[in-house]
Amino acid sequence: MSALGEFRRLGTTRSGPRRKRDNKAAYLFLLPWFGGLLLITAGPVVASFVLGFTDYNLIQPPEFNGLANVRRMVADERLHQALGVTFGYVLGSVPLQLAAALALAMLLDRGLRGLAFYRSAFYLPSLLGSSVAIAVLWRQIFGAEGLFNRALDLVGVSGRGWISDPDTALSTLIVLNVWTFGAPMVIFLAGLRQIPAMYYEAASVDGANRWTQFRRITLPLLSPIIFFNVVLQIIHAFQSFTQAFVVSGGTGGPSDSTLFYTLYLYQRGFHNFDMGYASALAWLLLLIIAGFTALNFWAAKRWVFYDD
Amino acid sequence: MTDLTERTVPVVTTGDPPPPRFRVPAPVRSIARHAALSLLALVMLYPVIWMVVSSLRPDAEIFRSPGIVLDSLRVANYGTGWNALTSPFGHYLVNSAIVVLGCIIGNLVSCSMAAYAFARLEFTGRRLFFALMLGTIMLPIHVIIVPQYIMFSQLGWVNTFLPLIVPKLLATDAFFVFLMVQFIRGLPRDLDEAARIDGAGHPRIFLRVILPLMLPALATTTIFTFIWTWNDFFSQLIYLTDPEMYTVPVALRSFVDSTVATSWGAMFAMSVVSLLPIFLAFLVGQRYLIKGIATTGIK
Amino acid sequence: MHTPLTRRSVLALAIGAGAGAALAACGGGGGDAGGDISGDPVTLRFTWWGSDARHKRTQQVIDLFTKANPTITVKGEFKEWNGYWDSLATTVAANDAPDIIQMDELYLSSYAERGALLDLGTAAKHLSTADFDAGALDTGKVDGKQYAIPTGLAAYAIVVNTDLLSRYRVALPDDATWTWDDLKRVGAQVSKAGGGTVTGVQSWGFDSGGVNIWARQAGASLYDDEGNVAVPPAVLASFWQYLLDLTKQGIAPPPSVTVERAGGALDQSGTATNTSAFGTWWNTQLTSLAEASGQNLKLLRQPGEARAATPGAYYKPSMFWSVSARSAHPAEAALFVNFLANAPEAGEVLLTDRGVPANTRVRAAITPKLTATDKAAAEYLGALKTGPAPRVTPKGASGIEAILKRHTEGVLFERQTPQQAAAAFIKELQAEIDAA
């Protein structure tokens, strides 16, 4: 049952016997969260919404300009470029990264010596995070004199500066994202640990092979966690900023080929003193992400399995 | 996959015994697997190794001699880097540690409470609040930060760790709330039903039943909070303007200026130093990741 | 339908948004820049960008100042370039800006014209500019008001690696007479001898220096006095055509290598790694380059100057000192800027870290103390024949280098012709200026 399904059930009067409303306890448990929503989150969020209808250069007071920012979006070619880049990145990197993370998590889950070592080794790149070192390190692989080109030289192919070629720059960022699959891998690992081993034992006794076990046990029981990773990685990929920022020095170059949506928004807001438009851009992104997330929750009804 | 919607866990057999097939002897397979994993690890670790090697090279050699073969060992970068800024680098490590600790405590307490409510309790407005919670992670920080900075500066919180820690105490990190919700929903309901029949209230069920069972999720939260806070650059840059309050990522960036020569060796040395705490945190934390239900023997 | 927000409506908005009342940041300055120095303890905040070496030097100067002025405490806040501007914009928005602000030519108008900077003319009582050339001071003026004092000057130059030239037996060109064709010719000789690993020229077109000089040699300028884009498309197109020729004829590296090096740090450039014989740089970068390269580097004047209609060369202020308009202690802040700009003991610590000092007296005083490469940079600057400085980057055009870089990339990868790039560049830059 998906979260959305549950929302729907809440909307009706159909409540099971154990689904008694427990408002008091719930609000007590949610007290910190309500506090955060009202005191920390609400103000800036509302402010950014209001600023979306203004011309605001950060230094002087904002001026209302109605829907001018929206009209600008329609004609803004760099915005359209940024949307294209971002969709390409989301579609390319999320499936690849999650597949790599799940595969490695399965491999590293049990039954192999030196697991702790491999887990740590595979996680180590993710630790670098947004470090400034990333820009330099990534060049050691995909730069004109990087590891990748030297490997190509061995087989007699002459390479190029993959990071700085507009045809390949985005792909290297997708690889960079896959390279840092540590976070979803750890979440998968934690999820796999929640699957009782006896299911597999029973299946083995029944003669089910690995693939059948994966399809019939792992996938359904891990589905809430897979779902979590899919939802969050998509949101995350849409908001992807740091890697492109660090690798391209904040420009989104070459030739805007790595101009991620948030990078463009940041440039408008901070480099061009155009925070009103940046705020409007942020809300467009929110709508896009919310749309994708709603789609995910809707689709989840068909494949996510909860034990409740 | 129609069986996914069934209520029981499907352990399906095909009816027929699996066809006999040739099996590679176990030791060979094991060696092959190790070889493949090691190779993959090496490729993945190449940039990290390059960084460590570069931290042991004189500045001038770093970009002139490619590769990871070290012909001279120069630990001087570590001394230079440690003292390159106005305070010794240890000062920034301590600052980061304070922020990280506050954020971990905040996230563990506040997010698990909120997650319990969302995952296990029925209440008015749950649908709306859950959607709101997810919505809060959809706005990019860059438009939130200016109003938020204004708010915190009115409170006089700029140049303290409060703007970094207090939001975490108030469960604003929806990522972890959602993560824990998913984990709790993966736990069998029978357990809290049983506790409830024994007369336990929600606080007791939460503390005695749910929390111990979601140890992997809590460990995940701890590790991620540690790593992400340790690496978070933008909000720390904005809220901490006094170098005395700088954290590791802000200090590290102060080494780099694209218009003049950068002390790369020192920068890489301090990057290695700042990588150590999170790596150790991961090494320790991952042991708790694997202590899930499967090993506690429930069910 | 531009409705200026009144103070009350902003307040309502802010309360409604819970975001604090300062969204509009409408507070005025606290103190009087022409007043006396306070006898009570005063704390000033001073912010700059740079790398670790500059942080150390600057802190030393702060210590010197506070020793001489015990009632004033100066808190230094250092950042790297990108983070610096994010942080500055945020603090200005919150009415919480540091008192003394290191400023760049690209952003000077954007902050000054919007009222964020103090007119230093009002602080003349504490801040002397007598030892500055009028031409240098003019670079810090916006609408006739002195919003900023240049810290140092820089001039565009060609850095040549003479070791590479002698290894390949290529004669050093005479920079008093050479032309752009000469640069192509010697560059081609080096590329040919370099056999693929070393190229003659490191391509440019990623900072405003190169395009400014090209335009000025053609008798044009990037902006007119009103701050509109004034460079003729044909001049820009010939600039990009030249860069494209360099790449296509193998005088410069392939585009992806060029772009990679341009995006990297100074240490990763062709000049620093000894893989390009000629490169365009600001003269003040010579020392950093020489340290990174480890070989003999020399500054040459720009090609084409001898035949140019007007001198292309000009003095660029490497950076400025400015004071926040909302500083509560403008008099003390001005006193500190005075120390930074005029005190010989400050100059002796800073040396050429922020450019060859624009203060002629300080420049003369520190010249004997400079390293060989710094001395060469200072001599280059002194001997240069320059024209009047270009107009300060207009408000809204702070993104010019990003726009320029994008179009250079487009040309080098042949995604657009030089003519298309020229038209698009002018259109985009003008649109940014119009919108601001």
> A209: Cβ–Cβ under 8 A, 6 or more apart, which residues?
B18
Alpha helices in B17-82 (DSSP H): 26-54, 59-62, 76-82
Q: What pLDDT, on a 0 to 100 scale, did the predictor assign at position C150?
A: 95
Q: What pLDDT, on a 0 to 100 scale, did the predictor assign at position C19?
A: 40
> Between chain B and chain C, how many beta carbons pairs sit less than 8 Å apart?
131
How does strand C149-154 pair with strand C356-357? antiparallel
Q: At C245, is the pLDDT very low, low, confident or very high (cuts 50, 70, 90)?
A: very high
Please give the average per-residue pLDDT across C231-249, as a whole number.
96
Q: Locate the domains of chain C by residue range.
A: 37-151+317-376, 156-313+396-435
Q: What pLDDT, on a 0 to 100 scale, did the predictor assign at position C411?
A: 96
Token duo for residue C46: 């001073």
What is the spatial distance between Cα B209 and Cα B248, in angstroms, rounded to a whole number?
Answer: 38
Chain C residues close to A249, C-beta within 8 Å: 263
State how many domains chain B has: 1
A178 in any annotated domain: yes
Q: What pLDDT, on a 0 to 100 scale, did the predictor assign at position B299?
A: 38
Q: At C265, is the pLDDT very low, low, confident or very high (cuts 50, 70, 90)?
A: confident
A69 in any annotated domain: no
- CA of A257 vs chain C CAs: smallest distance (Å): 10
- Search chain A and give the residue with CA nearest B196: A18
Query: Buried b / exposed e across A40-49, counting CB within 10 Å, b at 16+?
Result: bbbbbbbbbb
Closest alpha carbon to A135 in C255, C272, B228, C263: C263
The predicted-structure confidence for A182-192, as pLDDT tens digits, reads as follows 889 888 988 88
Q: What ipTM score was computed for the predicted complex, to two decimals? A: 0.88
- CA of C123 vs chain A CAs: smallest distance (Å): 22
Q: Does the structure show a pLDDT above 50 at A124? A: yes
Q: Are B253 and A132 in contact (CB under 8 A)?
A: yes
Q: Does the structure show a pLDDT above 50 at B19? A: no
Q: What pLDDT, on a 0 to 100 scale, did the predictor assign at position C362?
A: 94
Q: Which homologous superfamily does the CATH classification assign to the domain defined by C37-151+317-376?
A: Periplasmic binding protein-like II (3.40.190.10)
Q: Does the structure show a pLDDT above 70 at A253? A: yes
Q: What pLDDT, on a 0 to 100 scale, did the predictor assign at position A115?
A: 78
Q: What pLDDT, on a 0 to 100 scale, did the predictor assign at position B16?
A: 45
B182 in any annotated domain: yes
B18 in any annotated domain: no
CATH number reported for the structural domain that contains residue B207 in this entry: 1.10.3720.10
Q: What pLDDT, on a 0 to 100 scale, did the predictor assign at position A50?
A: 95
Domain C156-313+396-435 indexed as CATH 3.90.1640.20: no
Please give the average per-residue pLDDT across C51-66, as a whole number.
92
Q: What pLDDT, on a 0 to 100 scale, did the predictor assign at position B206?
A: 94
Place of tokens 């998906």: A2
Token duo for residue C136: 């240098």
How many Cβ atoms sit within 10 Å of the Cβ of residue A170? 21
A61 in any annotated domain: no
- Which residue segment(s) compose the domain that B178 sits in? 89-296
Please give the average per-residue pLDDT across C65-79, as a whole number.
94
Helix (H, G, I), strand (E, B) or coil at A6: helix
Q: What type of residue is B189?
A: R
Q: Are B241 and B157 in contact (CB under 8 A)?
A: no
- Which residue segment(s) compose the domain that A211 sits in? 76-303
Chain C residues close to B251, C-beta within 8 Å: none
Please give the average per-residue pLDDT across A286-294, as a whole number.
95
Chain A residues close to B185, C-beta within 8 Å: 224, 306-308
Q: Are B73 and B56 in contact (CB under 8 A)?
A: yes
Average confidence score pLDDT of chain C = 89
A29 in any annotated domain: no
Please give the average per-residue pLDDT across A282-286, as a whole number.
95
Q: Are A127 and B279 in contact (CB under 8 A)?
A: yes
Mean pLDDT is lowest, of A283-287, B162-166, C7-11, C84-88, for C7-11
CATH number reported for the structural domain that contains residue A275 in this entry: 1.10.3720.10
- CA-CA-CA-CA torsion sign (C251, C253, C258, C262): negative
The predicted-structure confidence for C104-136, as pLDDT tens digits, reads as follows 999 999 999 999 999 999 999 999 999 998 888
State how many domains chain A has: 1
B78 in any annotated domain: no
The predicted-structure confidence for C361-385, as pLDDT tens digits, reads as follows 999 999 999 999 999 999 999 899 8
Helix (H, G, I), strand (E, B) or coil at C96: coil
- CA of C381 vs chain B CAs: smallest distance (Å): 18
Chain A residues close to C23, C-beta within 8 Å: 47, 61-62
